[in-house]
Amino acid sequence: MAKNESTQPEIARPYANGVVWRRLSPLATVLVLILVWHWITDWQLVSRILIPPPAQVLQSLAKALADGTLAKHAGTTLGEMMLGLPLGVSIGLAIGYAIAKAPLLEYILSPIIVAFQSTPIVAYAPLLIIIFGTGPSSKVVTTAVIVFFPTLVNTIVGIRGVSPRLRDLMRSLNASRWQIFRKLELPSALPVILAGLKTSATLAVIGAVVGEFVGSGSGLGVLVISARSQYDTPLVYVTVLTMTAIALSLYSLVALVEWRVLVWQRRST
């Protein structure tokens, strides 16, 4: 099969034909997962206390939707992410670009950068609360911190991988720095940068939620802890599935951009 695919000259075809199928396949996966989940609870393979049946979760979802709980908390978390994600990503892009241009910077900055990435939030929670308060801004920070690193390292590698020949071409055309970035470096590094963004986008949810764990009045992190502390397992599931849905949407968004932008790579495979 794989062999056939690469020997046939009609390379663009499978993509064109497969589009509908491909778009639907994640839904199929979700359906299968729900079925498996249903069976697990139906046959009581695991206690219902630990894994509630899908129907119960659906009911809980309906309720959380109806009384606005879910919307409120998801709204908070989304709001935090929508600031933290672009913030962290842009800093990652900027510093990553700088490091790619001046490799010494990587050595100088690595202790700081790695420290940011490897310190659990509990350790600096008091600082965070004192400096940013208990409002959304501290969660924007935790999101930005967690999101920053994957974008950074992938930007470095992406920009370093730009063809030196094409750099020569741009220089010979007297292109400005900005033009070199916009017309050469960015498109050339894009596949790798987008991979970094995929990691960043899915980590963003965790970043906001973990920030909320530190101390918050609303948000999915608060909802999940509150549901857990009230032993409302179906609501825990509703909350977690909401997080996954958000992460999956962001992931899909990046995947869509990737798909659109990399026509040339698909066509030339």
Partner 1 sequence: MRLRLQQLAVSYPAPGGTLLPALGPITFDIADDEFLCLVGPSGCGKSTLIRVLAGLLQPTAGSAYCGDALIDRPLPDIAIMFQDANLMPWRTVLDNIALPLEIAGVAESERHQTVRELLPQLNLDGFELAYPAELSGGMAQRAALGRVILQQPRIWLLDEPFGALDALTREKLSLELLRLRQRSRQTIVLVTHDISEAVLLADRIIVLSRRPGAVIADIAIDLPRPRFAAMIYQPEFLRLTKQVRESIESLRD
Partner 2 sequence: EERILLTFIPNVQFAPFYVGIEQGHFADAGFDVSLDHLQEPEVLDLVAVGQANFGIVSGEQVILARSRGRDVIYIFEWFQQYPVALVHSAALDLSDLEQLRGLAVGIPGRFGASYSGLTTLLSSAGLTESDIEVKEIGFNAAEVVCLGAVDAAMVYANNEPLQIRNRAAAGDCGAITDVELITVASQVDLVSNGLIVGRSLLDSDPDSAARMAGALKAALRQAINNPARAYLSSLKYVDTLPNGASLVAELEAAAERQARFLASHPDRQAVAASRAELLRQLSQQFDPSLLAQFQVLLNTIELWDADELGFSDLASWEAMRDTLALMGFLGDELGDLADAFSNDYVLGGSE
Considering only residues 174-203, where is the footprint of a second copy by CB under 8 A?
191-192, 194-196, 198-199, 202-203
Looking only at residues 9 through 38 of this chain, which bind partner 1 when binding is defined by CB under 8 A?
9-13, 16
**Which entry of partner 2, a second copy, partner 1, none binds 17, CB below 5 to 8 A by partner kind?**
none
Instruction: Using CA atoms of 227, 231, 233, 238 in order, give the dihedral in degrees to the nearest 10.
Output: -10
Looking only at residues 222 through 261 of this chain, which bind a second copy when binding is defined by CB under 8 A?
224-225, 228, 236, 239-240, 243-244, 246-248, 251-252, 255
- Residue 90 binds partner 1 (CB under 8 A): no
Q: Report in angstroms the alpha-carbon separations of 130 from 84, 125, 134, 140, 190.
A: 19, 9, 8, 15, 38
Instruction: Using CA atoms of 186, 97, 208, 236 in order, give the dihedral in degrees to the nearest 10.
Output: 60
**Which entry of partner 1, partner 2, a second copy, none binds 88, CB below 5 to 8 A by partner kind?**
none
Q: Report in angstroms the alpha-carbon separations of 185 from 94, 164, 217.
A: 13, 11, 43
Q: Which spans in 119-267 are helix H? A: 121-132, 136-160, 164-172, 177-179, 186-214, 220-229, 233-261, 263-267
Q: How far apart are CA 255 and CA 195, in angstroms?
A: 9
Q: How far apart are CA 115 and CA 111, in angstroms?
A: 6
**Which entry of a second copy, partner 1, partner 2, none binds 59, CB below 5 to 8 A by partner kind?**
none
Query: Cβ 218 to partner 2, closest distance in Å?
Result: 8
Q: What mask, x for binding partner 2 by CB under 8 A, covers residues 172 to 211?
A: ----------------------------------------
Question: Which residue, 18 or 217, is less far from partner 2 as judged by CB?
Answer: 217
- Residue 216 binds a second copy (CB under 8 A): no
Q: Report in angstroms the alpha-carbon separations of 9 from 20, 260, 265.
A: 22, 22, 15
- Residue 165 binds partner 1 (CB under 8 A): yes
Question: Which residue, 160 or 183, is less far from a second copy as judged by CB?
Answer: 160
Binding site for partner 1 (CB under 8 A): 3-4, 7-13, 16, 164-166, 168-175, 179, 183-184, 187-188, 262, 264-265, 267-268
